[in-house]
Amino acid sequence: MTIFRKIIQNIVPIIIISFAVIFTYWDLPKTFFQQDEWLGFARMISYEATGGVENVLKIPFILGKGHFTPLSYYQLYFEFKLFGLSFEPFVLVSIFTHIVNSVLLFYFVSLLLKNKFLALCSALVFAVGVISNQAVSWIGTSTNTQGAILFLLLSLIFILKYFHNNQKINYHIALFFFFTGLLFKETILFFFILAPIMWFLFGDKIGRREFYLFMKPLIFLGFIYLLLRASLFLIPSSIGVTSANTVNLSLTADVVRLIFAPFKIIPQAIIPQQYLINISDMALFYLYPQYGFPNPYISQTVLFGQVIPYLSIPIILIGFIFYKLALLKKIIDLARSIIFSLVFIMLSSLPFAFIPGDLADFPMYESRHLHAATIGVSVFLVVVLWTIVKGLVKKSKHAYLVMLILLVSLLLFHFNLTRTEIYKVVNVSTARRNISDFIKMSYPKLPQKVVFYTESNTSYYGMPQEEKALPVQINFGLILLVTYNQSSNFPPCLFDFDHESFHMLNQRYEECDGRGFGYFRDYDKLVNAVKENNISMDNIISFSWNGKEGEIRDITSEIKERVRKEP
């Protein structure tokens, strides 16, 4: 009977969580690579061709002045070598990692609340939640974001174990996992502040000496990480490699961002973005009718940043009220968990307060940036709901039934929203896949020198109406280079990173090491490139994209004839 109970308590939750994630992200394999993946693949190809695997391993150190995420880069490189451009395996890795993270959250909340039912509730909210779905659905950001969260959750588990049994080995393991997570993505830096707060909330021994002994290895780890990041500035950037701008000259702006960042993230981590946009639209309609309605340029930028942070005030008040109620009922674990979850959400915003440039001032966080915050949200929502249920329903069995009904309602709400977001990506990805597959099937082998030309009747991604392009978020020439590289073996000099050659709207033709490659959307630029480089008509490949009908058509013969007739 004991063995059966253990199976029910441990194995069944894992099965439930796994099915929830798989069912939610069932259509994710129908999507496709978006933008960062192509740039990463191109850089890996170029560096491996010029210096082998060792050269690829240097890339994170060269680019590390802005972001130092070597482990996520190495994981993506390993997957690229293993899977090539087969998209589905990348998705399976992402989904599997999300399952693992959800199970780890279940285990952490089990330790936190000492209640496996509530732990399962929190894990399921995290598993199907729409707030940070981009961390799972966008492969280009999945590796670093989910990798960092995996090791953060391991850190939380072992540090909580340390508070429970006072075995220092658990604390040291927690710090090891935390440091490993930092090498996936720096957004978990807030653990440096969260750890001492957890010591006050959950630690048994309270005293100056105990606190000093607790902080000593944490401070040492922070010093090592700071030294590591500082040393990266001594590494010169190679020619053709640019690093993100890391200088922010306004100390005042940083302080203001630091203060207001928690108020920005709380409502965005709890309330789905579309509902927040609706609130901002209503504010525009009633407060500033002179700007017209709807006006997303106002409601989703300046006004969003002015209105939405105020929603954090009632959320914090709700948390404080239920914290007091839990204390009155002497449910200490619930009371501590409410404080912990709110603090966790607020602290998760701090790394984004120091983003260089104007991005830190943008009022709306992208979905993937809220992934860490949703850990705190999943605990907060479940604990608050459970406190309400326990206050209204006296019988324990009835309380669990009511909680189950509320949980299912919440999960269905998020499940539908997450599926809707995935369907949006599927629709765009279908067009990208069709275009890429059609071109590769039509021309499986390329000549030594080739020029691609594409026409379109649609503009995308906020581009001016006169900028007709394909439905991709990066230069299509780069996608073609990566796609054809396996069969064409392009020289690394064609993968040029010395300037914005691969900006979405850029067009160019270049020759090196006996090979030539070009991509154009503008017919006149195509003609000029053909004349200036004496390109043979046989080397022109052309396609036309009808965005309204979703059709791709080979127009190579037509374009060749047109170019041939040019004076």
The answer to whether the CB of 341 falls within 8 A of the CB of 380 is: yes
- Tell me if 180 is assigned to some domain: no
pLDDT at residue 244 greater than cutoff 50:
no
Q: Is the CA virtual torsion 512, 515, 518, 523 positive or negative?
A: positive
Cis peptide before 294 (omega within 30 of 0): yes
The answer to whether the CB of 153 falls within 8 A of the CB of 104 is: yes
More confident residue, 252 or 526: 526
Q: Is the CA virtual torsion 148, 154, 158, 159 positive or negative?
A: positive
pLDDT in tens, 191-209: 999 999 999 998 876 678 8
- Tell me if 29 is assigned to some domain: no
**HSE of 335 in the Cβ direction (CA atoms, 13 Å)?**
12
pLDDT at residue 258 greater than cutoff 50:
yes
Q: Which domain holds residue 470?
A: 443-564
- Tell me if 324 is assigned to some domain: no
β-pairing verdict for 508-512 and 515-520: antiparallel
> Which of 343-347, 500-504, 547-551 comes out lowest in average pLDDT?
500-504
Q: What percent of the chain has pLDDT over 90?
A: 43
The answer to whether the CB of 284 falls within 8 A of the CB of 295 is: yes
Q: Which two tokens stand for residue 198?
A: 């957890």
Q: Tally Cβ neighbours within 10 Å of residue 81.
A: 12
Question: What total of structural domains would you count in the chain?
Answer: 1
Q: Is the CA virtual torsion 420, 423, 428, 429 positive or negative?
A: positive
Q: What is the pLDDT of residue 243?
A: 46
pLDDT in tens, 118-163: 999 999 999 999 998 999 999 888 999 999 999 999 999 999 999 9
pLDDT band for 72, please (50, 70, 90 cuts).
Answer: very high
- Tell me if 328 is assigned to some domain: no
Can you tell me the mean pLDDT for 380-384?
95
Give the integer Cα–Cα distance in Å for 134 and 553. Answer: 32
Can you tell me the mean pLDDT for 59-86?
87
Instruction: Please identify which residue in the block is written with the tokens 């009908």.
Output: 549
Closest CA to 66 of 147, 186, 164: 186
Q: Tally Cβ neighbours within 10 Å of residue 179.
A: 17
114-129 CB burial, b ≥16 within 10 A, e <16: ebbbbbbbbbbbbbbb
Alpha-carbon distance values, 445 to 206, 454, 488, 538, 542 (Å): 70, 18, 7, 13, 15
Alpha-carbon distance values, 141 to 363, 367, 396, 566 (Å): 20, 11, 43, 45
β-pairing verdict for 449-456 and 508-512: unpaired
Q: 511 has which bridge partners?
A: 516
Q: What is the pLDDT of residue 2?
A: 67
> Which of 125-134, 276-285, 399-408, 457-466 comes out lowest in average pLDDT?
457-466
Alpha-carbon distance values, 287 to 273, 284, 293, 304, 441 (Å): 21, 5, 11, 13, 55
**HSE of 514 in the Cβ direction (CA atoms, 13 Å)?**
2
- Tell me if 101 is assigned to some domain: no
- Tell me if 455 is assigned to some domain: yes
Using alpha carbons only, give the angle 542, 497, 142 rounded to the nearest 5 degrees.
90
- Tell me if 151 is assigned to some domain: no
The answer to whether the CB of 188 falls within 8 A of the CB of 148 is: yes
- Tell me if 496 is assigned to some domain: yes
Question: Which letter does DSSP use for residue 473 in this model?
Answer: S
pLDDT band for 36, please (50, 70, 90 cuts).
Answer: confident
pLDDT at residue 356 greater than cutoff 60:
no
Question: Which letter does DSSP use for residue 10 in this model?
Answer: I
Q: Which two tokens stand for residue 449?
A: 């020198």
